[in-house]
Structure 1
């Protein structure tokens, strides 16, 4: 008899429904915020590598200057996972950038490739968790 009265009682139904819907919405909110952070970091690293490419257009053999340009283009407080990688190639063959600066003959096309990576904050929701690594590369063709 008490059991039947309990099943017919509708007080608190709206609160339980709200809790169930709120948990789903909160999970979606956390996921959107996490993926927004991943996207923001990807855009920042692409912009930084592009800034290094612009520096490389004028100083293609200055490896440390290119790396500094990439690092300085990041937003304040952000850092890369490691030092940006700068590689040079002449006519499809990998070459030392400093060797070209000291007079080694280079057949065209002369390419400078800049790449960097940074870890993004993990996307964590009550139901799912994942870590992401953002990376970007940029290639400059020197005439």
Structure 2
């Protein structure tokens, strides 16, 4: 059972159904083409900063816009498809971003998206893959880092 103290790294798999322009906080207006996107985040705290806290927040419709990903997830053309996570006591998100981007059908997303606290270009990755293939691909990237991925169950 996941509690509010699980620390680790996660990937949100989202689908943009149709081209959309979204105002993303300080990054300004960003154009998102249709397709699959992976957002990599970390959750190294407890309670609201835990894996469960972060994923529950990302999935919620009722939140204050704070993180770059919040602005995208509120758009009706954007659909939450899956969340994959793994427990880790140390920061793994930058390593996971590099692993995911090391593929001919994965492209770095908008500059500085979700990466204002590190040297990564972006923590949003465009995946030129279908949903099920994207899930398997992301799952395998966790394994390549020696992590034990789990699929987050959406609570309804």
Q: Which has the higher helix share?
A: 1
Give the TM-score of the pair, scaled to structure 1.
0.22
In our comparison, the structure showing a higher alpha carbon Rg is 1
Give the TM-score of the pair, scaled to structure 2.
0.21
Q: Which has the higher strand share?
A: 2
